[in-house]
């Protein structure tokens, strides 16, 4: 079946970096965009950006330009989100999800990865 | 502050119908028919329940329906059931430079 499986929870110090993975299975990897969405504690969902696994092009929400970097590995059908210079307010659950077009709804979601930034 | 505006909470008794609103602008909901709705139970992954304003994915109960008028989209849940208690988020494609997709702040639905 179609699945997005994310890497496990992370605890990082402020200023550190973390790389979260999202492995796709059950469909042709290059035919769907992968989005990242985060939910901070007590907050709503927030769209971070997308990557097109076909060519690797990316688009980031303005708030997430600079410290966030999405990449993909087509050989393993995996997308990565690397976050650098972590701050306390990066503490959140990070979800990967897919959409067949940029305008399309997000029809399959990963289980979420909790990233905690704590000293 | 979310780009789309949703009421923070709605509550109703089992069997009743409720309508959740999602207000955007002429750059998103008012411009495109690319509104979707997600049901989110805490601790689980969000679930798509409505796409493209009013399309219900396979397997989603027909008690969920969507519509749009101007800059406001709506989600109606009829015959409310205990398992409908969750957070509901709307989202839309947007023409704004700052991002491609925007979410609402979410509505907490409580079944009394």
B-chain residue closest to A104, CA distance: B34
Strand arrangement, sheet containing A78-83 = A3-6, A18-25, A78-83, A68-73
The mean pLDDT of A70-88, rounded to a whole number, is 98
Specify the pLDDT at position B98: 82
Say whether A103 and B51 touch across the interface (CB within 8 A). Answer: no
- Inform me whether the C-beta atom of residue A36 falls under 8 Å from chain B C-beta atoms: no
DSSP classification of residue A31: G
The answer to whether residues A110 and A20 touch, using CB atoms and an 8 Å cutoff, is no
**Quick one: which of B19, B5, B9, B10 has its CA closest to B78?**
B19
CA angle A84, A90, A94 (to 5 degrees): 95
Q: Give per-residue burial for A76-98: e unless 16+ CB within 10 Å, then b.
A: ebbbbbebeebeeebbbbbbbbb
Strand partners, B50: B37
The answer to whether residues B6 and B73 touch, using CB atoms and an 8 Å cutoff, is no
Mean pLDDT rounded to a whole number for chain A: 96
Q: How far is B58 from chain A (nearest CA, A)?
A: 11
Specify the pLDDT at position A72: 98
Specify the pLDDT at position A102: 86
CA angle B3, B4, B5 (to 5 degrees): 120
Per cent of chain A over pLDDT 90 is: 97
Assign B11 a pLDDT band (cuts: 50, 70, 90).
Answer: very high
For A99, residues 6+ apart whose C-beta sits below 8 A from its C-beta are A32, A33, A35, A50, A105, A106, A107
The Cα B51–Cα A57 span in angstroms is: 25
- Inform me whether the C-beta atom of residue A61 falls under 8 Å from chain B C-beta atoms: yes
DSSP H helical ranges for B1-112 = none
Token pair of B90, please?
């709307």
The Cα B70–Cα A34 span in angstroms is: 29
Q: Over the stretch A38-54, which tens digit does the pLDDT of each residue have?
A: 999 999 999 999 999 99
- Inform me whether the C-beta atom of residue A27 falls under 8 Å from chain B C-beta atoms: no
């Amino acid at each position: 079946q179609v699945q997005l499986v994310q890497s496990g929870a992370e605890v990082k110090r402020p200023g550190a970096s973390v790389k979260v993975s999202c492995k796709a299975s059950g469909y042709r990897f290059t035919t769907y965009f992968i989005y990242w969405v985060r939910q901070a504690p007590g907050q709503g969902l927030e769209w971070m950006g997308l990557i097109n696994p076909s060519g690797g092009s990316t688009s980031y929400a303005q708030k997430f330009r600079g410290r966030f970097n999405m990449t993909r590995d087509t050989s393993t059908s995996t997308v990565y989100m690397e976050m650098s210079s972590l701050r306390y307010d990066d503490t959140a659950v990070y979800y990967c999800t897919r959409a067949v077009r940029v305008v399309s709804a997000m029809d399959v979601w990963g289980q979420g990865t909790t990233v905690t930034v704590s000293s | 502050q979310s780009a789309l505006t949703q009421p923070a909470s709605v509550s109703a008794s089992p069997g009743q119908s409720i309508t959740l609103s999602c207000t955007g602008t002429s750059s998103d909901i008012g411009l495109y028919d690319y509104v979707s709705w997600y049901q989110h139970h805490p601790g689980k992954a969000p679930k798509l329940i409505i796409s493209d304003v009013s399309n219900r994915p396979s397997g989603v109960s027909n008690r969920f329906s969507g519509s749009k008028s101007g800059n406001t989209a709506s989600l109606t849940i009829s015959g409310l059931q205990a398992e409908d208690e969750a957070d509901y988020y709307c989202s839309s494609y947007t023409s704004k430079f700052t991002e491609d997709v925007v979410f609402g702040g979410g509505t907490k639905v409580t079944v009394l």
